[in-house]
Every structure is written in C-alpha cells, then in structure tokens.
Amino acid sequence: MRDDELAKLIDADTIAVMQRVMVLLGADARCSGFPVDRADFVSTVREMDRLCSEGSRSLGEAIAEASEWGDKHDQQRARAVYERFLAGCRTKFHREIARYQLRKLDTANG
C-alpha cells in the first residue's frame, strides 16, 4: 500500500489497532520512539511491518536450523539456536514463539 493510501486509513480505530500491534511486537511508544498519532501513523506502520517481517524471517530460519539439529538428535545445538535467536530478537511476539519452541525441546527430553 502506498503512503497516501495508508494516510487515508487514519482514524481512532486504526490508531488503536496500531497501538495493539506495537504492544504485541514489544515496540510500544516508550521503547520504540514511535508514538502513534496522526502525524506519524504511516511511518509507524512501515516500522512495525519491518519489525514483524524481520522477526518472522529470523524465527523461520531458527526453527528450520533447530529442526535440523533435532533430526540429528542434538538437542543441545537445537537449544543453542533458539537461545541465539532470543539474544538478538527485537520483538516480543517472536521471542514468545521461540520460548515455546524451547519448552517443547525440554518436554521432549524429559
């Protein structure tokens, strides 16, 4: 969507939705520097989209790599993949998924 098309969507409801997205991603106004109001709605949408895409791509790579180690029965290396991901991940949403995957590894081993 072009910036001018996004700008046409700005209203109280879409600002509220964007604020919820920011909390879900762990990028609320206090930590991200992106207060959500009419003046910066478009830039906030772009930044949240970038954070979500970056987190999803990185998490997908981590899941694939950890799965390969799991197939080789090397749970220690699989755990290390998720721990490395968690150390660099910027979004709450993706960290929660990685922690869930770690718990699954722990459950499978014990």
What is the DSSP secondary-structure string of the chain? --HHHHHTT-SHHHHHHHHHHHHHHT--HHHHS---SGGGHHHHHHHHHHHHHHHHHHHHHHHHHHHHHHHTT-HHHHHHHHHHHHHH---HHHHHHHHHHHHHHHHHH-
Tell me the domain boundaries of the chain.
3-109
The mean pLDDT of 85-91, rounded to a whole number, is: 94
Residue 26 has pLDDT above 90, yes or no: no
Structure pTM?
A: 0.83
The closest alpha carbon to 104, from 65, 68, 63, 72, belongs to 63
* Bigger pLDDT: 12 vs 27: 12
